[in-house]
Amino acid sequence: MLFSGLFAASLAALTQLAAAANYSNPLRETNGSDPQIVWYDGYYYLMTTTWTDVQLTRATTIEGLKTGEGKTVWVDEDPSRCCSVWAPELHELDGTWYIYYSAGTAENLDGQRPQVLEGGAHPWDDDYAWVATLTSTWGIDGSVATINDQRYFTWSCFDGTDIQSLCIASMTSPTSLGSTVLISEPTEDWETVGAPVNEGPYLLQSPSSGTYYIVFSASYCWTTSYQLGLLTLADGADPLVRDSWTKSGPVFSSANGNLGTAHNAFFTSPDGTEIWNVYHATANANGACDGNRYTSVDRVSWKEDGSPDFGVASPLGEVLVGPAGEPAA
């Protein structure tokens, strides 16, 4: 009888945990562009492009982000960086939280530059202040990438080229960069639909092989061919050498009514056993590059050789099992 009672109690607990872990896409229906999610200290933190400011949303479950607690952490009145606030990302560096994002002037998009906000020891509790513009030339979609314990900054650029490409530089501090290196230009057919574009780079590391990848967005965002490509870093190679990277793709494209599935990021499940892909898409038949993009997440799988398998974007509204280790509701 005691065993039977314990089994029933355990089964009930497992059932409750499974139910708490369920979610469905989308997580954010409007202004869900350029998403990033970070799990830290019992909360998911979600950032997306809101165009005019920098906002954080947090919740203890992925499903909870739909109605999560939100706040605006930065509005800038400086005319050189007031407007077109895009693609914010939250990164913890040496015990301090920073937000990297793109912004420029109200007149046009020629002034877009990578910007940095510095916070404190906690991503939610502490205030943020603007501390740096990272480049003197056009740049968007900046992200921090730690490779073999060395810190780099990757972003979309025009340095050394007349087409929108990908650049990398070593980070001499959280607010300053070394020399810029061009590592990818959009030359393949799948990178040039509507316009030749490489943007939205984000680091991914294989948990089994240790191989480093940069996943990026390709083609014009106002098309349904906006999709993800992959740069693979040769084992032991220098990330600051262009030939160290091998391009492949597309690796994640429109599917199941989700169009323009790109500008993504990755986050780890609460128990650390899974890597998840957070991305935006649209239902607009012609594609979208405005607030009519929503945020979705799907789990990343891994092939036998250790390389990532992103699968396909799950249908909207389908009930899915969420990240492992989420707290019970």
Buried b (16+ CB within 10 A) or exposed e, 135-163: beebbbbbbbbebeeebbbbbbbebeeee
> Among all residues, which ones are annotated catalytic?
34, 199
Say which residue the tokens 């952490």 belong to: 73
Q: Which of 292, 194, 307, 294 is closest to 246 using CA atoms?
A: 307
250: left (phi over 0), alpha (psi -120 to 50) or beta: beta
Strands 69-74 and 54-59 turn out to be antiparallel
For residue 329, count other CB atoms closer than 10 A to its CB: 13
In Å, how far from its chain's centre is CA 297? Answer: 11
